[in-house]
Amino acid sequence: MAIPDLVSTSCSPGRSSARQADPGVGRSNRIRNISAFFENMSNPKRPEIIVGEAAEVLAMTPEQLIDAFNARHPAILEAAFGWFANFEGVTGVDVFASPFPHADGYAIIDGPLPVAVYRQEDLPAVHEHICAALGLGHRPLQPVNVGVQKPYAALYRGFLESYRPDQPTLDTIYASAFMQHFYSSDEIDAFRQKWRGA
């Protein structure tokens, strides 16, 4: 889960007083966590994730990176699941205070700032609704920070093709208050079923 990606301004081209909080866990939480790992594996500001210098990381095999990811995954999850506590401290908005409308895939929360909370995988379908609700008009979605377009793209693809989380990892993710809030039990069961077939 790439923490900086959790707040986006996809409805507005510049700075806005409206914020969007993206739990981003519906991509089975896997892609977000892997994205955070790849984005920060050479970042000295993220010592809990760092694997090494960029050149040595790019020389690793997907299997070596999977081992490195598994060793760092608890720290990645801790940062991801705690992100909204920081969000509340900055915005004064507790996204967990109201039930999340699973069928809609997003919610607008009134507070000191209007906040749109959405699930990343629902963004293409809900983008226009969010922009309208926040009074921002039509804004096209622009893909940014796309892993398959970065220098580590081949490693990233190899990692995604090979990675299979173990059952304790899945249990930790799917039993979290984070997942329980943003996804229905049927949706979580479907994620589990998808991994069983992976």
pLDDT bucket at 5, cuts 50 / 70 / 90: very low
Report the C-alpha gap between 50 and 85 in whole angstroms: 24
User: What are the tokens at 62?
Assistant: 């997907």
Return the pLDDT at 108.
93
pLDDT of residue 198: 60
Task: Note the pLDDT tens digit of each residue in 144-194.
Answer: 777 778 888 888 889 988 988 888 888 888 898 888 999 999 999 998 888
pLDDT tops 50 at residue 19: no
**pLDDT score of 31:** 62
pLDDT value of residue 16 = 34
Is pLDDT of 23 > 60?
no
- Please tell me the predicted confidence (pLDDT) of residue 30: 53
Instruction: Report, as an integer, the average pLDDT of 69-73.
Output: 89
What is the per-residue pLDDT for 24?
Answer: 42
Going by C-alpha positions, the residue among 74, 79, 84, 73 that lies closest to residue 7 is 84
- Which whole number is the average pLDDT over 67-89? 84
Give pTM, 2 decimals: 0.74
70-91 mean pLDDT: 83
Let me know: does 36 contact 27? Beta carbons within 8 Å.
no
Q: What's the burial of 133, exposed, middle or buried (CB within 10 Å: 0-12/13-18/19+)?
A: middle
Q: Give the pLDDT score at 100.
A: 95
- Sheet holding 19-21: strands in order across? 7-8, 19-21, 115-118, 106-109
